[in-house]
Amino acid sequence: MNITPRVRFAPSPTGYLHVGGLRTALFNFLFARHHDGKFILRIEDTDRNRFVDGAVENLISTLHWTGLDYDEGPDKGGDYGPYIQSKRLDIYRTHAQELIKKDKAYYCFCSPERLSMLRQEQKHTKDQAKYDKFCLNLTPEEIQKNLSALKPYVIRLNVPQNQIIEIDDVIRGRVEFNSETLDDQVLIKSDGYPTYHLANVVDDHLMKITHVIRGEEWLSSTPKHILLYDFFGWNRPVFAHLPLLLNPDRSKLSKRQGDVAVEDYRAKGYLKEALINFVALLGWNAGDDKEFYYMNELIEKFSLASVNKAGAIFNTEKLNWLNAEHIRNKNSVELLPELRSALKNSVYDESFFSDEYLTKVIDSMKERITFVSEVITKSPYFFAEIENYDPDVIKKRWTVETPVYLSKLSEEFSLLNNPGKEDFENALKKTTENLNLGIGKLIHPLRLAVSGMGAGPGVYDILFIIGKEKTIDRIKKAIEKLS
């Protein structure tokens, strides 16, 4: 690539960050990093009716959490700021006036009532709903009179008639639109704020954006943007429109069918590495069967040429699988903050457990969980004493002779000094030999005694983690309760 790419993620602060927005941000980030370019965050907050307090801070926090660190943005600055559109209003008005002088835009003073009547007529005649250019024919004197009288107005794009507008899209190839299908888009609203269409084109040019990588839903708006580039006499950026995100039934991904906010997945305990890995595969692959990626691998492999046209299925089962895989591939010490966070939200006192203890617990459970919080729910015996014993396991594994066997085993354990896993294992084998028993006669009821369950990590792992004293105590209590 001859030029250094400059790409941007330009969300509207209307609430939480949608996973589709995360995918757009990620693909921009990967493209920039792959080509040693710049990734810019710009906040498009000109739709004041949809603005949500705190959304900007939430967006920034979420991007930082995912590791999508941008080079320029509201909290970082840069050579092309401000990076919040509501702080750039004079820039848009100046450019709108430039279009008016070139007869590429015009004042529209039509009342909401007239526009409503126009829409009703077009609906009745089954014509396309679009503005009829009524105010384009106002004389300069009429325009000045209305402006002097402070009559409310918008500024509209003067779309040329019957013109073919071509888009060369990296992902979709050549796409053509006839200008007859385009409305005379509002560029400046009656409140003085620009619409997305004017603001994003002006900002992309002034911020020297080279590639516009965004969702497929913006493809139909792109001919309006191309007209603006041409009217201003600016070079067009390269366009790449990403495929839609779909539910398994191929309907468009929406909140009605499940979680769509990145924050929802974070709260449920998905690792950022797993979420990024999963989202990267929504519409992109490197041309092989590889599915497990770290960020540095994604940066190395990413190419817009490998992005698919077809909609991408959001498969939660794959996300869960990736989360489990990333847990297994992490060092247990790295997972400690996740477990401590889960403990703080549980009934247990997080401060009671040392890092060393919790690391051992994670080591024993890593292969058995999809979420770190399942360390707690699937092995509560590491965090509290046994209150209940699985009745099915009791029925299957606890016999009349079991208390005698476990008492002998407990005696053997009591002779151990600071035992490790092998010491517990050797003591159990010695006991079975002395009692002339199969190992199952001891190991299964032992697991029940120390965990209350019939399955879990290796029983010697449990004994080593909870320690000799607690092991002996739990055996004693189980004998008392179950005999």
pLDDT tens digits, 126-170: 999 999 999 999 999 999 999 999 999 999 999 999 999 999 999
Q: What percent of the chain has pLDDT over 70?
A: 99
Contact (Cβ atoms closer than 8 angstroms) between residue 122 and residue 145: no
What is the mean pLDDT of the segment spanning 67-91?
96
258 pLDDT higher than 80: no
User: How far is it, in rounded angstroms, from Cα 466 to Cα 383?
Assistant: 9
Whole-Å CA distances, 423 to 388, 416, 430: 28, 7, 10
Q: How confident is the model at residue 248 (pLDDT cuts 50, 70, 90)?
A: confident
What is the mean pLDDT of the segment spanning 258-262?
79
Query: Do 6-85+245-318 and 88-242 agree at the fold level?
Result: no
Mean pLDDT of the chain: 95
Task: Return the CATH number of the domain spanning residue range 88-242.
Answer: 3.90.800.10
Whole-Å CA distances, 78 to 40, 41, 83, 163: 9, 11, 9, 38
471 pLDDT higher than 90: yes
Give the three-state DSSP class for 187. strand
What is the mean pLDDT of the segment spanning 289-297?
97
Q: Which of 255, 290, 344, 396 is catalytic?
A: 255
pLDDT of residue 363: 97
Contact (Cβ atoms closer than 8 angstroms) between residue 205 and residue 98: no
Q: In 10 A of CB 436, how many CB atoms?
A: 7
Q: How confident is the model at residue 256 (pLDDT cuts 50, 70, 90)?
A: low
Q: In 10 A of CB 94, how many CB atoms?
A: 10
pLDDT in tens, 95-135: 999 999 999 999 999 999 999 999 999 999 999 999 999 99
For the whole prediction, is pTM greater than 0.75?
A: yes
pLDDT of residue 255: 57
**Residue 252 dihedral angles phi and psi, to the nearest 5°:** -65, 135
pLDDT of residue 340: 97
* CATH class name, domain 385-482: mainly alpha
The verdict on whether 255 is a catalytic residue reads: yes
pLDDT of residue 265: 95
Q: Domain locations in the chain?
A: 6-85+245-318, 88-242, 330-374, 385-482
Report the DSSP beta bridge partners of residue 72: 40
Whole-Å CA distances, 198 to 49, 91, 105, 133, 354: 18, 11, 11, 19, 57
Q: How confident is the model at residue 250 (pLDDT cuts 50, 70, 90)?
A: confident
What is the mean pLDDT of the segment spanning 254-276?
85
217 pLDDT higher than 70: yes
Superfamily of domain 6-85+245-318: HUPs (3.40.50.620)
Q: How confident is the model at residue 70 (pLDDT cuts 50, 70, 90)?
A: very high
pLDDT of residue 252: 85
pLDDT in tens, 17-49: 999 999 999 999 999 999 999 999 999 998 888
pLDDT of residue 15: 85
Instruction: Please give the helix or strand (H or E) that residue 372 lies within, else none.
Output: none
257 pLDDT higher than 60: no
183 pLDDT higher than 90: yes
pLDDT of residue 3: 83
**Bridge pairing between strands 211-215 and 238-242:** parallel
